[in-house]
Amino acid sequence: MKVLVVRNASSYDFGGAERLAVHIAKELELNDVDTLVISRQVRLLQYAKDVGVPARKGWWWSRQNWSGIRALGFPVYVAWQCVLVLWYIQLIVRLRPDVVHLMGKDDFIAGTVAGRLLGKGVVWTDPADLKHIFLNHAIWYKNPVGKLVYLVSHLAHAIMLVSKSEIQLTSESVGHALPKNFVVMYSTGKDEVVEHPQARNAADKNAVIFCATSRLVEAKGISDLVQAFNKLVKDSDNYRLWLVGNGPDEERFHAEAKGNNYITFVGHSDKPLTYVAAADVFVHPTHHEGFSLALAESAMLGKPMIATNVGGNPELVTKDNGILVPLKDSDALCKAMQTLGQDRQLRERLGAQARRDYTAHYNFANIVKDVLIPTYEQARSA
């Protein structure tokens, strides 16, 4: 079997959804599935090269916002899709895949039409975007692009959303129950690995370390976390906070953390999981989430988790492996951190359960072998 995995994104946007395309391809290769990644995103192509995954540059238009007054340009968008369909047809004819696996709006439309015209299996993975793409679906004069995507979705053999929450939210955007080809596939997107913990400073050796790995932007709840930690250290000097990542709001968070010497801004790291492995608790205070790869990875490492009660987080974090807190509530976040910070046995118990949950439900190799490949088989034989 041969599969094309297609993922495009803006040049500045390289995160879990982009890595997922490469990780899927890599895992498929381990299962003797011939795979090629197609993308216009330079960083994704380089990442594929770095991990030894075959990749090829594709076509993609960076203009993605067709809302509001831009909706008047819908005929231009349709013309672009027609051109893209022709490009996909020649690509599929040349490469002769059995299945086309698409992971973005433009490719959903053109790749699906081309794939079905040529009798290929078509599978979508939605990285938590369809609930936005389908907004205002019931209002006839709004969001023509979203309506086109929804129309084409009926041609796909399977559309995999990343959590039960995404199924519900996408259904709400459409205004009715989704067709049966919409299914859930938890996409942890990473092979199980053994991470060597980052070395602790002598002063931090016996401290309780909380760790967050994310882009430093407001929507990830970093401000809430800094505020909560500032309150936490008023009661004890035995706590530390590691923030792994960078982003456009970094200076603001530095200012909010000013004077707190127990907060470390690690910055970008090519191996963020080494910090998670060295920490005692993983914290994910995001304001919205489809399915958190960061939470799945922390569970893989056997860490107790604190997360906001939004999106797909409750599907990963339960009372048995962590603590859920309300959205944008720094007091509740501080209390949860204090609860775990003061109780080592509780941390160990929750962390052990997190590891068991990962093994049972979120192991990526098992998901690809037991869910994704059978989906491909069904699509190509349909």
Do 128 and 156 lie in one domain? The reply is yes
Beta strands in the chain (DSSP E): 2-6, 34-39, 55-57, 99-102, 121-126, 158-161, 182-184, 208-213, 239-244, 263-267, 281-284, 305-308, 322-325
CA distance 34 to 12: 29
- Say what the pLDDT of residue 68 is: 87
pTM summary value? 0.82
Do 169 and 252 lie in one domain? The reply is no
Residues ≥6 apart with Cβ < 8 Å to 345: none
Give CA separation, 372 vs 43, 67, 123, in Å: 25, 33, 10
- Say what the pLDDT of residue 189 is: 62
Angle between helical axes of 16-30 and 293-300 (0-180°, round to 10)? 50
Do 215 and 303 lie in one domain? The reply is yes
Give CA separation, 257 vs 74, 238, 253, in Å: 46, 17, 6
CA distance 233 to 338: 9
Do 243 and 335 lie in one domain? The reply is yes
CA distance 173 to 150: 11
CA distance 21 to 151: 24
95 occurs within a structural domain: yes
Do 98 and 244 lie in one domain? The reply is no
- Say what the pLDDT of residue 12 is: 75
CA distance 151 to 161: 17
- Say what the pLDDT of residue 300 is: 93
Give the CATH number, domain containing residue 377: 3.40.50.2000
Residue 54 DSSP SS3:
coil
Do 148 and 228 lie in one domain? The reply is no
Do 168 and 44 lie in one domain? The reply is yes
Do 169 and 53 lie in one domain? The reply is yes
CA distance 352 to 9: 36
Angle between helical axes of 105-117 and 74-95 (0-180°, round to 10)? 50
Amino acid at 47: Y
**Count: domains in the chain:** 2
- Residues of the chain falling short of pLDDT 50: none
pLDDT digits (tens, 9 = 90+) for 170-181: 999 999 999 999
245 occurs within a structural domain: yes
| Phi, psi (degrees; rounded to nearest 5) at 118 | -100, 10
- Say what the pLDDT of residue 191 is: 61
129 occurs within a structural domain: yes
197 occurs within a structural domain: no
| Phi, psi (degrees; rounded to nearest 5) at 89 | -60, -50
Residues ≥6 apart with Cβ < 8 Å to 279: 209, 210, 211, 242, 303
- Say what the pLDDT of residue 199 is: 92
Do 258 and 325 lie in one domain? The reply is yes
CA distance 267 to 148: 41
Amino acid at 300: M
Do 36 and 179 lie in one domain? The reply is yes
Strand order in the sheet with 281-284: 263-267, 239-244, 208-213, 281-284, 305-308, 322-325
CA geometry: angle 238, 241, 247, nearest 5 deg? 165
Q: Which residues of 138-159 are buried (b: 16+ CB within 10 A; e: fewer)?
A: eeeeebbbbbbbbebbeebbbb
Alpha-carbon Rg for the chain in angstroms: 22
196 occurs within a structural domain: no
263 occurs within a structural domain: yes
Do 170 and 262 lie in one domain? The reply is no
317 occurs within a structural domain: yes
Tell me which residue range forms the domain holding 340. 202-361
Do 54 and 183 lie in one domain? The reply is yes
Among residues 246, 234, 322, the alpha carbon closest in space to that of 285 is found at: 322
